[in-house]
């Protein structure tokens, strides 16, 4: 798989990474540990060198599992993890105090079976802790050799600028896909100006862009999509037109909707590295095939025209979670 660079300090990763959240958090019951390890190693064997986890995803089936899975080839991969939630639990609120950041880093090193965190993100901006203090703390961890690169997640433009002035930000991780294009207005131009890479999570619209969900879709207990306004029956019905457009575009290229959605993201900027997640080997292979899809200028123009005909309905987060983004 081709490589891409995040930031300006030589952080090179595979063009597609693997988002590991869904292995233990957010989409229902956790994946069996043995199966999760096998999936992670299968991704590596197929060229993935960029793996994304977080304390908040549950250490027992995320950081620990990722650490065990990648230990045999640790030197060949890039591991990203995150700090920023009190007690590592999103429901407990935010906590990016310097002492907490240092505590999370030390614990993550043990769980990941490594001597350094390649990319350490602030999971969400904490309004109670100056972003300069956050960046300064990570800068100290970098000086100590515990962290290689600093990242932010779902941060707003002002926070990005302020943090970057203290410690260069290698990557911003935020949602971006054919059905959530808000970053194009302000964030992408800022990242290009500052030389910061972009790591889109939910690049397949939390599965919507694959065409799997109709208006009658139901979600298992523990699947957070059941609380997301954009996945309500009314919104799904209204948004079906987008899924139809993506499917039609994919058919013209002889690929799947997931592959066209990922290829479209990769075509936006050379410093964009999506991190689709999955628990299934055949979906992993399908997603990775998106990196091989070449979109011509005519293809991109046709996609842009098709997307412009659809107005996506529904917020991407429930009100209780919306407060954590774009600070």
Instruction: Give residue-wise pLDDT tens across range 38-73.
Output: 999 999 999 999 999 999 998 667 999 999 999 999
- In this prediction, residue 235 has a pLDDT band, given cuts at 50, 70 and 90, of confident
| % of residues, the chain, pLDDT over 70 | 96
pLDDT one-digit tens code per residue, 208-223: 899 887 767 777 777 8
Residue 321 reports pLDDT greater than 70: no
Strands 78-83 and 50-52: parallel
What number of CA atoms fall less than 13 Å from residue 98's CA on the CB side?
A: 11
* Residue 78 near residue 45 (C-beta atoms within 8 A): no
pLDDT of residue 323 exceeding 60, the answer is no
Confidence grade of residue 319 (pLDDT, cut at 50, 70, 90): low
Pairwise CA distance, residues 321 & 229, whole Å: 12
* Confidence band for 325, pLDDT divided at 50, 70 and 90: low
Contact 120, 150 (CB under 8 A): yes
Token pair, residue 64, equals 């620990």
Least confident of 15-19, 69-73, 185-189, 207-211: 207-211
First vs last Cα of the chain: how many Å apart?
34
* CB 152 within 8 Å of CB 125: yes
Centre a 10 Å sphere on the Cβ of residue 227 and count the other Cβ atoms it contains. 13
Contact 176, 200 (CB under 8 A): yes
How high is the pLDDT of residue 318? 67
Instruction: Give residues with Cβ within 8 angstroms of 82, minimum separation 6.
Output: 53, 54, 55, 56, 120, 121, 122, 123, 151, 153
Longest CA span, the chain: 53
- The pLDDT tens digits of the residues spanning 238-287 come to 888 889 999 999 999 999 999 999 999 999 999 999 999 999 999 999 99
Q: For position 147, what pLDDT does the model report?
A: 98
How confident is the prediction for the chain on average, in pLDDT?
93
- What is the per-residue pLDDT for 254? 96
Q: Give the domains, in start order, of the chain with CATH numbers.
A: 3-211+259-293 (3.20.20.100)
Cα distances from 228 to residues 21, 26, 49, 233, 303, in angstroms, run 17, 12, 31, 11, 26
Cβ atoms 291, 262 nearer than 8 A: yes
- Please say if 57 is a catalytic residue: yes
Q: What is the pTM of this model?
A: 0.94
Q: How confident is the model at residue 236, as a pLDDT?
A: 87
Residues 6+ positions from 181 with CB-CB distance below 8 Å: 307
Does pLDDT of 290 surpass 90? yes
Active-site annotation holder among 27, 57, 121, 176? 57
pLDDT in tens, 107-137: 999 999 999 999 999 999 999 999 999 999 9
- Whether residue 4 is predicted with pLDDT greater than 80 in this model: the reply is yes
Mean pLDDT of 162-184: 97
What is the per-residue pLDDT for 47? 98
């Amino acid at each position: 798989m081709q490589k891409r660079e995040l930031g300006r300090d030589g952080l090179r990763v595979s063009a597609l990474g693997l988002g590991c959240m869904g292995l233990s958090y957010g989409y229902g019951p956790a994946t069996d540990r043995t199966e999760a390890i096998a999936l992670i190693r299968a991704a590596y064997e197929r060229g993935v060198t960029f793996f994304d986890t977080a304390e908040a995803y549950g250490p027992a089936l995320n950081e620990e599992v990722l650490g065990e899975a990648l230990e045999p080839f640790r030197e060949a991969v890039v591991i990203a993890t995150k700090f920023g939630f009190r007690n590592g639990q999103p429901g407990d609120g935010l906590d990016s105090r310097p002492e907490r950041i240092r505590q999370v880093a030390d614990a993550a090193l043990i769980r990941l079976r490594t001597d350094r965190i390649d990319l350490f993100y602030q999971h969400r901006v904490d309004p109670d802790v100056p972003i300069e203090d956050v960046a300064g703390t990570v800068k100290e961890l970098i000086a100590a050799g515990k962290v290689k690169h600093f990242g932010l997640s779902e941060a707003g433009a002002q926070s990005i600028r302020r943090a970057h002035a203290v410690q260069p930000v290698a990557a911003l991780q935020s949602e971006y896909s054919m059905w959530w294009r808000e970053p194009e207005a302000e964030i992408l131009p800022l990242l290009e100006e500052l030389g910061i890479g972009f790591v889109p999570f939910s690049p397949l619209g939390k599965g919507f862009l694959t065409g799997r969900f109709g208006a009658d879709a139901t979600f298992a207990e523990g699947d957070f999509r059941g609380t997301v306004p954009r996945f309500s029956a009314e919104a799904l019905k209204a948004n079906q037109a987008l899924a139809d457009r993506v499917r039609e575009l994919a058919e013209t290229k002889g690929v799947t909707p997931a592959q066209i959605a990922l290829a479209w993201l990769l075509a936006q900027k050379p410093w964009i590295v999506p991190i689709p997640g999955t628990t299934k080997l055949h979906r992993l292979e399908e997603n990775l095939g998106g990196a091989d899809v070449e979109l011509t200028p005519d293809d991109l123009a046709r996609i842009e025209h098709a997307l412009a005909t659809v107005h996506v309905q529904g917020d991407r987060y429930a009100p209780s979670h919306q407060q954590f983004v774009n600070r």
